[in-house]
Structure 1
Amino acid sequence: MAIPKNGFNYILPFLFGLWHFMNISQVVFGQNRITSLPGYEGPLPSVLETGYIGVEKEELQLFYYFVESENNPKEDPILLWLPGGPHCSGMSALLYEIGPFQLEEKEYNGTLPRLLPRQYSWSKIVNILFVDLPVGSGYSYATTTRANYSGDLKIAENVNEFLRKWMLKHTQYVSNPLYVGGDSYSGFTLPPSVHRMVNDNEEGMQPILNLKGYLLGNPATDRSIDGNTQVAFAHGMGLISDEFFESIKTSCNGVYHNIDPNNHKCKSNVLQFTRKESYKLSLYWMNDNRVQEALHAYKGTPIKWIRCHDGKYHYRYEVESSVKYHVKLSAKGFRSLIYSGDHDIIVPFIGTQTWIRSLNYTIHDEWRKWIVDSQIAGYTRTYSNKMTFATVKGAGHTAPEYKPKECAAMFKRWIAGDAL
């Protein structure tokens, strides 16, 4: 392959990657089992394993975090959790949503943030495999320029290759029931990823994945539907005034997705929906040298760990709607759980209900409340295609951050095949 004009920029990461391979290949190809971490008192609730799996001819090195089940890891299901973003680290879900430990919520004082056990961790009943994907997310990195390019459909290719290679290194889990989960932007990448897994299974690609179903929380699914329901949701929740609602509805003609760039009034109104987050404690903890050493992260990572990148990498937003993938997976008989925090303005549940209704599936179990500890935890409905939809009362984006007990109960019931 010819070296481009900026050949130095191309060769340097290749040479550095080669040096990394020669010196610490046990990190790239080995598995590192971790029983303790800086900031956590005593042994971890369950075994944590980290490592790298190379895909795209080893040019893309994907970092993973594998958490063994606290129950029966040899037989419990494996949950592959895909991050959102699309440039968020798998550690975000581990620390803030469903992992076995969490950061202590207190103001940063200059010392290493403390880790605490999570009472409602999903790893109490399943093995969870978190991954930093796509390239540039978390500790994952590329050794060539061309591997720095990714997109919605490229993720599907990478996930499939990653998981099969991971299984080859962990053959003891090949027969375990496999589920794929994620939230937020993974609503665009998870369905095509699962569809790719199914197709490759049918073509005999080894090892065969024992796929049973998938779940999505607060999932972005259809860019038009999701984008056009935010304003109505905010007004219905009393988050914006009647006057502002009428102003934005009139200026945008009721369409808030793919706005006309010349419609400055509409653009100005929509900007008021910008949402900023602050997860600073994870930055301090994940960028501490002691933590990175304990996690066996690649020390030559060209950038510091960031929970979610803001589009600095080459990424193609290819999936306008993932509804067609849900249809294909349902036709093959896979179970699915779609849940939404009913206070989520990023991906409002009314948009999620809209695309689910568009499937025209027969309702199996009518709209009803579901209960946790004698309290209404949300509302749910099941369909003949083995799809369950549930709202999580009082939860935002993403639901387990706001309602960990309720979401853990929901997941436990669904994974066991029980009604919510």
Structure 2
Amino acid sequence: MVPLIYCSLFVLLLLHPISEGAPEEALITQLPGFNGTFPSKHYSGFVTIDESKGKNLFYYFVLSEGNPTKDPLVLWLNGGPGCSSFDGFVYEHGPFNFQAGRKPGSQPQLLLNPYSWSKVSSIIYLDSPAGVGFSYSNDHNDYTTGDLKTASDTHTFLLKWFQKYPEFLTNPFYITGESYAGVYVPTLAFEVANGIKAGVKPMINFKGYIVGNGVTDKEFDGNALVPFAHGMGLISDDLFQEVSAACQGNYWNSSNEICEDKLKKVDEDISDLNIYDILEPCYHSPEIRSITSGSIRLPSSFRQLGETKRPLAVRKRMFGRAWPLRASVRDGYVPTWPQLLGSNSVPCTDDEVATTWLNDEKVRSAIHAQQKNVSGDWELCTGNINFHHDAGSMIKYHKNLTAQGYRALIFSGDHDMCVPFTGSQAWTRSLGYKVIDEWRAWTFGGQVAGYTQGYEQNLTFLTIKGAGHTVPEYKPQEALAFYTRWLAGQSI
């Protein structure tokens, strides 16, 4: 006969299997600005990836609101480079909708987000690399880094994180991100896949990855804007024919003077549009358009960004998303947005909600972040790192990973002019895989929500109709819909 005490323990483990391995000191019990019950458990803290240097990466972990023992586990990465993944947490698909305080600088209020991606998956929001968000190192030489080192460090983070949370090792694991995470995601996925082949422990149950409006390849990205502008009716047929003839399809690094002259006309025609969503209105008031002193080397469209009627409007911001028009990411040093602007005073940005909340000492204490005297102020996108693009084109990574059988979803908000869908559509087609699901509409709520094309090797390309650069921010319901279907292996 089994003693009653062991029977009781067994029942408790069945009822609460997730909490057994998770570190209790990482449990979040309350959040300033939120007056309610968490829909699932939240954990946060640091993983030290280099003891000798005190190199620490910060994570915020949201358990699935469904069945966390079986639902997919997802890592989310924002881009920049240099941008915190709290960007996704606060403004895109985190568990809360943030509402600005009644007075400037006052505490934001948090409400539950009905379209959080934690409805169907557990999510790790990671600040990476060190020097970004709450992540830091005691050796500031670590803030000089690049694609390959970031991927290696994040792989180390994952291995150590799973040692803290071993109960999630059997969950299907996916790597996701947007914008410059179009580089972070495939390079990390490659590291993880190689670790699995080498038998590195703990063994991660890696299944695939998702990239949204992602930086990928200098030629495909750099050549995407002109066809996009023409297809969207932003430039005339005559100008399109002239620039096509002059540039011969090479819009990103032409040394042809006539080509450059035509490209200037293209830039002039689109300069007053909202680069992150051409459907959104732009701010034209003198206060918002005022430019601070400093060397501003960006198109005027970056200074006139749009708004929506959502409770927390889509941000009027240019900071940390991707690159100026046609300036695709090339090998070598990659300037962060503060470095690009030549000034710490960023014009026309509004990240007050996230900045106010995450720099509140009570919030930092509640989520187990270091105080400001250790890791400094939280910034959405930092200029503290010196970052180098040293992984080259991502196409070879995508080819390698999909050839190994890993699932891949490449999605694009179809009205983003920053990383236009035309480039993503072109490079996915360039992989040469056979089309097994011909271009068709996908629907949500009985309406066309975008278009998709499926390839062999589990590769899917998807557009979201009417969405901008940060798809879940513009189209939260549709984003949750395609995310849910894809994770479940269903047809989108």
- Compute the TM-score of the two structures, normalised by the length of structure 2: 0.74
| Unmatched segments (≥5 aa) in structure 2 | 1-22, 268-297, 304-316, 318-349
Counterpart check, 1:35 vs 2:29? yes
- Look up the match of 1:176: 171
Tell me the amino acid that sits aligned with residue 85 of structure 1.
Answer: G
1:98-142 deviation line (CA, Å, top 9, x unaligned) = 211121267753321111211111101111011000122110111
- Look up the match of 1:275: 302
Q: SS of 1:275's equivalent? A: helix
Counterpart check, 1:45 vs 2:118? no
Please report how far the alpha carbon of residue 35 of structure 1 lies from its aligned counterpart in structure 2 after TM superposition. Answer: 3.3
1:358-417 deviation line (CA, Å, top 9, x unaligned) = 111011111111111101011111111111111000000011111110010101111111
1:308 corresponds to which of 367, 381, 384: 381
1:356 corresponds to which of 424, 428, 435: 428
Q: CA RMSD in A?
A: 2.6
1:191 corresponds to which of 179, 186, 191: 186
Answer yes or no: is the 8 Å Cα contact 2:100–2:107 preserved in 1: no
Alpha carbons of structure 1 residues 107 and 288: separation in structure 2 relative to 1, 3 Å: same
1:112 corresponds to which of 101, 107, 110: 107
Answer yes or no: is the 8 Å Cα contact 2:464–2:471 preserved in 1: yes
Alpha carbons of structure 1 residues 65 and 302: separation in structure 2 relative to 1, 3 Å: closer
80-89 or 106-115: which moved more?
106-115
Distance in 1 of aligned mates of 2:217 and 2:26: 39
Counterpart check, 1:404 vs 2:476? yes
Distance in 1 of aligned mates of 2:469 and 2:398: 22
- Look up the match of 1:151: 146
Counterpart check, 1:288 vs 2:282? no
Superposed, which structure 2 residues align to 1:73-92 within 5 Å? 73-92=68-87
- Look up the match of 1:386: 458
Distance in 1 of aligned mates of 2:411 and 2:445: 19
1:334-378 deviation line (CA, Å, top 9, x unaligned) = 111111101011111110011111111011111111111101011
Answer yes or no: is the 8 Å Cα contact 2:64–2:121 preserved in 1: yes
1:239-297 deviation line (CA, Å, top 9, x unaligned) = 45678768977887764434769999689775436535132221111112221121121
1:340 corresponds to which of 387, 400, 412: 412
Alpha carbons of structure 1 residues 133 and 251: separation in structure 2 relative to 1, 3 Å: farther
How many residues are treated as equivalent by the alignment? 391
Distance in 2 of aligned mates of 1:280 and 1:265: 39
- Look up the match of 1:207: 202
Answer yes or no: is the 8 Å Cα contact 1:46–1:100 preserved in 2: no
Distance in 2 of aligned mates of 1:288 and 1:193: 32
Distance in 2 of aligned mates of 1:145 and 1:115: 34
- Look up the match of 2:331: none
Distance in 1 of aligned mates of 2:100 and 2:466: 20
1:7-56 deviation line (CA, Å, top 9, x unaligned) = xxxxxxxxxxxxxxxxxxxxxx9842113211112122222211101113
Q: SS of 2:142's equivalent? A: helix
Distance in 2 of aligned mates of 1:99 and 1:258: 38
Answer yes or no: is the 8 Å Cα contact 2:58–2:135 preserved in 1: yes
Counterpart check, 1:125 vs 2:120? yes
Distance in 2 of aligned mates of 1:185 and 1:360: 24
Please report how far the alpha carbon of residue 306 of structure 1 lies from its aligned counterpart in structure 2 after TM superposition. Answer: 1.1
Answer yes or no: is the 8 Å Cα contact 2:83–2:132 preserved in 1: yes
1:143-170 deviation line (CA, Å, top 9, x unaligned) = 1133122111111101110001000011
1:62-83 deviation line (CA, Å, top 9, x unaligned) = 0000001111112211001122
Q: SS of 1:130's equivalent? A: strand
- Compute the TM-score of the two structures, normalised by the length of structure 1: 0.86
Answer yes or no: is the 8 Å Cα contact 1:251–1:265 preserved in 2: no
Answer yes or no: is the 8 Å Cα contact 1:235–1:241 preserved in 2: yes
Alpha carbons of structure 1 residues 273 and 365: separation in structure 2 relative to 1, 3 Å: farther
Alpha carbons of structure 1 residues 404 and 415: separation in structure 2 relative to 1, 3 Å: same
Tell me the amino acid that sits aligned with residue 320 of structure 1.
Answer: G
Answer yes or no: is the 8 Å Cα contact 1:344–1:396 preserved in 2: yes
Distance in 2 of aligned mates of 1:98 and 1:394: 18
